[in-house]
Structure 1
Amino acid sequence: MTLAVHGSSVDIPTPDGTADAYLVHPESAGPHPGVLLYMDAFGLRPSLNGMADRIAAAGYTVLVPNVFYRAGRTPLVELPDFIGDDQRPAIFQTVLPVMRALTPELAVRDAGAYLDRLAAEPRAADGPIGVTGYCMGAGLALRTAVAYPDRVAAMAGFHGAQLASEAPDSPHLGADRITAELYFGHADQDAALPPEQIERLEKALTDAGVRHHAEVYAGAHHGYTQADTSSYDAEAAERHWTALLDLLGRALPTRRGAAL
């Protein structure tokens, strides 16, 4: 049984300004374990908010920040209801410079503000939280688990990009700081995370003794979880939901029974 949820727009103070965000929680009595959801490059929109709603319906308080807030409030670019291959070039012409401006240092600083907002939320339970991210958001989720090990109990990333590159600031290089349990759902048709990076990430996590499980979803493309895009794969998306909610259930058990 899923819980009824309530969502609203909120503002998050950060060292560099104010980030707009979507906050959703069960309508039943809380508090509920917190989850930070990192967006993909297309940003906050009804489809992504709906994904946060589904997590909240399982018994969590979920925060989805606009990580591009320095460039403006949502939406940075007007999106069609369905993002097809023909719309992507024009969208990324606007979005790519903003993505590149979000340096690892800024991302980690912002993550502290997002974690503080969840910690201050009456509907969010005290203690460590879960983090999940999609596409570019998977890298942000991994960086958050590295930078705030005492505040993150579980981290999931789906069709992540550049998670284990040869760059000196690649997020996998901080694996030895992670204390959370991790799950990755990679897409095997994904130029943003080729096999050599999947292997490099696996080795880094294994060598660091990180509790983790990674799977490559056969036939899935980059963005397979996003129902409002042409990359969507319904079967792979449902597989991701099972893996994500299983991870959160292990690391952050809910009070759904008491709430019901």
Structure 2
Amino acid sequence: MTSVHGTLLDVPTPDGIADAYLAHPDDGRPRPGVLLYMDAFGLRPSLEAMARRLAGHGYTVLVPNVLHRSGRAPVVELPEFIDPAQRPEIFQQLFPLLQSLTPELVVRDAGAYLAWLAASPLVSDGPVGSTGYCMGGGLALRTAAAFPDRVGAVAAFHTGRLVTDAEDSPHRLVGRIAAELYFGHADQDQSMTADQIKVLEGALDAAGVPYRSELYAGAHHGYTQTDTSAYDAEADGRHWRALLDLFERRL
């Protein structure tokens, strides 16, 4: 793997500054851009490590704090090891902040993140990729639907609530997407049930979108996140293989 450089930076958005983390190969050459969307716990050392690992395979990776309207990361105080069963107050603090991030705000921010990548000398011309974790998978899908000419590959891992009753549910947006998609579902994830996965796959089939949808047996919601009680090393390794395969082919 290539040696990498990581740095914190500020990205201007229509609603103020979004703090973010950027990782890229040390040689400074332009590489395909990747927008990495955080899980609910947000921008923190473990996500920065994921960005550096991805950058080591030849990408320029931007990880924005999508809750920037509520403050710079960490938006809420986090322990080094996150076990929601032991610290339920973390979700209680985060939930209203997550609820305030409407689809309209997501798309507005996404335009700013993509504009930053397009303007960066560290990013090569061509489509960008996006990968999202937990709630971040939904953000990645909304980004690809809003900017189909910019996003060429999207991966979503242990992502819940992709199928809801809302008119703008992510599964209703897939017809606008030009990217190839990958879904790594956790089979122990109550926020994305087997029935919901079938609905999502039906929408993708109807739209003619190229995709792979896989079930990670025994994995729980959050299986890629090394600093949480949901982490599953085997499932995480599978996630990296799938992600790198997708980006290598499409970016």
Describe the SS at the equivalent of 1:6. strand
Residue 87 of structure 1, CA deviation: 3.9
Describe the SS at the equivalent of 1:228. coil
Describe the SS at the equivalent of 1:190. coil
Residue 165 of structure 1, CA deviation: 1.4
Root-mean-square deviation (Å): 0.8
Aligned twin of 1:49: 48
Letter of the structure 2 residue corresponding to residue 172 of structure 1: H
Letter of the structure 1 residue corresponding to residue 18 of structure 2: A
Q: Verify: 1:174 aligned to 2:169, yes or no.
A: no
The structure-2 alpha-carbon separation of the partners of 1:177 and 1:136, relative to structure 1 and needing over 3 Å to count, comes to same
Residue 113 of structure 1, CA deviation: 0.4
Describe the SS at the equivalent of 2:225. coil
Aligned twin of 1:133: 132
Aligned twin of 1:118: 117
Describe the SS at the equivalent of 2:187. strand
Distance 2:182 2:51 in 1: 18
Q: Which range is displaced more, 16-25 or 85-94? A: 85-94
Residue 29 of structure 1, CA deviation: 4.1
Aligned counterparts, 1:73-152, within 5 A: 73-152=72-151
Distance 1:79 1:132 in 2: 23
Residue 166 of structure 1, CA deviation: 1.8
Q: Which range is displaced more, 91-100 or 163-172? A: 163-172
Aligned twin of 2:229: 230
Describe the SS at the equivalent of 1:219. coil
Aligned twin of 1:255: none
Aligned twin of 1:23: 22
Q: Percent identity?
A: 65
Distance 1:10 1:161 in 2: 29
Letter of the structure 2 residue corresponding to residue 176 of structure 1: G
Residue 84 of structure 1, CA deviation: 1.5
Letter of the structure 2 residue corresponding to residue 44 of structure 1: L
Distance 1:95 1:27 in 2: 35
Letter of the structure 1 residue corresponding to residue 32 of structure 2: P
Deviations 1:42-72 (A, max 9, x none): 0000001100111100000000000000000
The alignment's TM-score, normalised by the length of structure 2, stands at: 0.98
Residue 204 of structure 1, CA deviation: 0.6
Distance 2:87 2:199 in 1: 29
Letter of the structure 1 residue corresponding to residue 99 of structure 2: R
Letter of the structure 1 residue corresponding to residue 153 of structure 2: A
Residue 209 of structure 1, CA deviation: 0.4
Q: Verify: 1:239 aligned to 2:231, yes or no.
A: no
The alignment's TM-score, normalised by the length of structure 1, stands at: 0.95
Describe the SS at the equivalent of 1:230. coil
Distance 1:120 1:87 in 2: 43
Distance 2:43 2:92 in 1: 18
Letter of the structure 1 residue corresponding to residue 240 of structure 2: W
Distance 2:173 2:79 in 1: 37
Aligned twin of 1:192: 191
Distance 2:7 2:100 in 1: 28
Letter of the structure 1 residue corresponding to residue 51 of structure 2: A
Residue 126 of structure 1, CA deviation: 1.5
Distance 1:242 1:8 in 2: 25
Deviations 1:18-43 (A, max 9, x none): 10000010012410000000000000
Distance 1:73 1:174 in 2: 30
Give yes or no for contact 2:84–2:90 (8 Å, CA) kept in 1. Answer: no
Aligned twin of 2:5: 6
Letter of the structure 1 residue corresponding to residue 120 of structure 2: E
Aligned twin of 1:34: 33
Residue 86 of structure 1, CA deviation: 3.5
Flag as ranges the 4+ runs of structure 1 deviating above 4 A: none
- For these two proteins, the number of residue pairs brought into alignment is 251
Unaligned runs of at least 5 residues, structure 2: none
Residue 245 of structure 1, CA deviation: 0.3
Residue 195 of structure 1, CA deviation: 1.2
Aligned twin of 1:258: none
